[in-house]
């Protein structure tokens, strides 16, 4: 962040001088502009291509989500608890990579991903975490057939909507930061997967989704602010390195194995990445 902040500071001094000039004209009251926020930026062929590529990525993830969730649902309906547990984090991952996009589809996100306390009524609680509780807490799939079928229907609906989603480069960039916000809020606290403790799988999926946005926009950022591009690349590497300490086999250690020192380190590495990444949207135009 350091370098990227020095430039605006110099700009502030200029602003102060100009403000003094304005004050000399007796015009200081007009310093506070009320221009409406404008978040659209002029599209270029490069930006259009990045958005198209990202839409393709989202669609691919949604396809994976349907396929994996179907496998997971089969295991649940076959009452194969061990297999269902094994597939839980794997099935969810493609949802976690595109969560901000999924969140824009009405109530699909809560239907697929709400936690027990998010649901208004117990009988309305559906989705991955409802089944997670059955598998890890109840040790039984009783009553889960219908929930599993509904989950498959819901991810299929997501798959359909993903094909036509409207996206702008600013949405993409904001989504990349939002995914890291998801990590800070839910995964690093162990709140997301409170029964299975597979939070680090979701952690990686969120970071993967964020990284994908960055990779697609990076050539544009390198033109406009190469220093910021380098900084973000370096911080992504650092996050993956920090996360790598907790890899076990194909997956990750249980969240319950993390100490306070572990979660602090992971959390601070996410903060170090998210801070420069939050400047991405404002640096997409030359």
Q: Which stretch binds another protein (CB under 8 A): 32-40, 114-122, 127-135, 247-255?
A: 32-40
Choosing from 43, 137, 241, 282, the residue that interacts with another protein (CB under 8 A) is 282
Please report whether residue 286 would count as binding another protein according to CB under 8 A.
yes
In the list 64, 99, 132, 235, the residue contacting another protein (rule: CB under 8 A) is 235
Q: Which is nearer to another protein, 9 or 120 (CB)?
A: 9
Contacts of 117 (CB under 8 A, 6+ apart): none
Element (H, E) at 252: strand 251-252
Q: Is the Cβ–Cβ distance between 202 and 211 less than 8 Å?
A: no
Judged by CB under 8 A, the number of residues near another protein is 52
Taking the least distance from each CB to another protein, the nearer of 150 and 267 is: 267
Q: Shortest gap between Cβ of 243 and another protein (angstroms)?
A: 16
CB nearer to another protein: give 101 or 280: 280
167 binds another protein (CB under 8 A): no
The window from 38-46, 88-96, 116-124, 206-214 that contacts another protein (CB under 8 A) reads 38-46
For another protein, the closer CB: 39 or 164: 39
Minimum CB separation of residue 264 from another protein in Å reads 8
Q: How far apart are CA 42 and CA 239, in angstroms?
A: 32
Contact between 223 and 192 under an 8 Å Cβ cutoff? The reply is no
**Cβ pair 283, 183 in contact under 8 A:** no
Stretch that binds another protein, among 33-41, 43-51, 201-209, 213-221 (CB under 8 A): 33-41
Per CB under 8 A, the segment of 20-28, 86-94, 96-104, 211-219 that binds another protein is: 20-28
Distances (CA, A) of 21 to 8, 13, 226, 233: 20, 13, 34, 41
Shortest Cβ 130–another protein spacing (Å)? 32
223-228 long-range contacts, CB within 8 A, separation 24+: 223/286, 224/283, 224/284, 224/285, 224/286, 225/4, 225/279, 225/283, 227/3, 227/4, 228/4, 228/276, 228/279, 228/280, 228/283
The SS3 assignment for 247 reads strand
Contact 47, 169 (CB under 8 A): yes
Cβ proximity of 186 and 192 under 8 Å? yes
* 230 binds another protein per the rule CB under 8 A: no
* 43 counts as binding another protein under rule CB under 8 A: no
Instruction: Pick the binder of another protein from 59, 119, 167, 272 (CB under 8 A).
Output: 272
* C-alpha span between 282 and 286 (Å, rounded): 10
Closest CA to 238 of 205, 265, 201: 265
Per rule CB under 8 A, is residue 241 in the interface with another protein? no
Q: Is 152 in the site for another protein (CB under 8 A)?
A: no
Question: What are the residues binding another protein (CB under 8 A)?
Answer: 1-3, 5-6, 8-9, 11-12, 14-16, 18-23, 27-42, 170, 173, 231, 234-235, 268, 271-273, 275-276, 278-279, 281-282, 284-286
């Amino acid at each position: 962040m350091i370098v990227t902040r020095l430039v605006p500071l110099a700009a502030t001094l200029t602003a102060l001088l100009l403000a003094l000039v304005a004050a000399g004209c007796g015009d200081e009251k007009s310093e506070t502009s009320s221009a409406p926020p404008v978040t659209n930026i002029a599209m270029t062929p490069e930006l259009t291509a990045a958005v198209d590529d990202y839409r393709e990525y989202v669609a691919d993830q949604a396809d994976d989500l349907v396929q994996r969730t179907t496998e997971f649902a089969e295991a649940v309906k076959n009452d194969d608890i061990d297999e269902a547990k094994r597939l839980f984090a794997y099935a969810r991952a493609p949802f976690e990579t595109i969560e901000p996009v999924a969140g824009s589809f009405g109530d699909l996100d809560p239907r697929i991903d709400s936690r027990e306390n998010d649901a208004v009524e117990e009988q309305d609680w559906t989705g991955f975490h409802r089944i997670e509780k059955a598998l890890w807490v109840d040790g039984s799939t009783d009553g889960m057939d219908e929930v599993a079928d509904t989950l498959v229907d819901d991810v299929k609906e997501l798959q359909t909507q993903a094909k036509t989603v409207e996206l702008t480069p600013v949405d993409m960039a904001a989504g990349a930061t939002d995914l890291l916000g998801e990590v800070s809020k839910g995964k690093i606290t162990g709140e997301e997967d409170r029964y299975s403790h597979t939070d680090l799988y979701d952690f990686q999926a969120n970071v993967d989704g964020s990284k994908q946005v960055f990779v697609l926009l990076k050539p544009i950022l390198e033109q406009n602010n190469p220093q910021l591009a380098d900084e973000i690349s370096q911080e992504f590497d650092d996050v993956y390195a920090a996360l790598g300490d907790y890899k076990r086999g194909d997956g990750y250690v249980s969240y319950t194995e993390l100490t306070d020192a572990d979660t602090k380190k992971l959390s601070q590495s996410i903060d170090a990445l998210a801070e420069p990444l939050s400047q991405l949207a404002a640096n997409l135009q030359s």
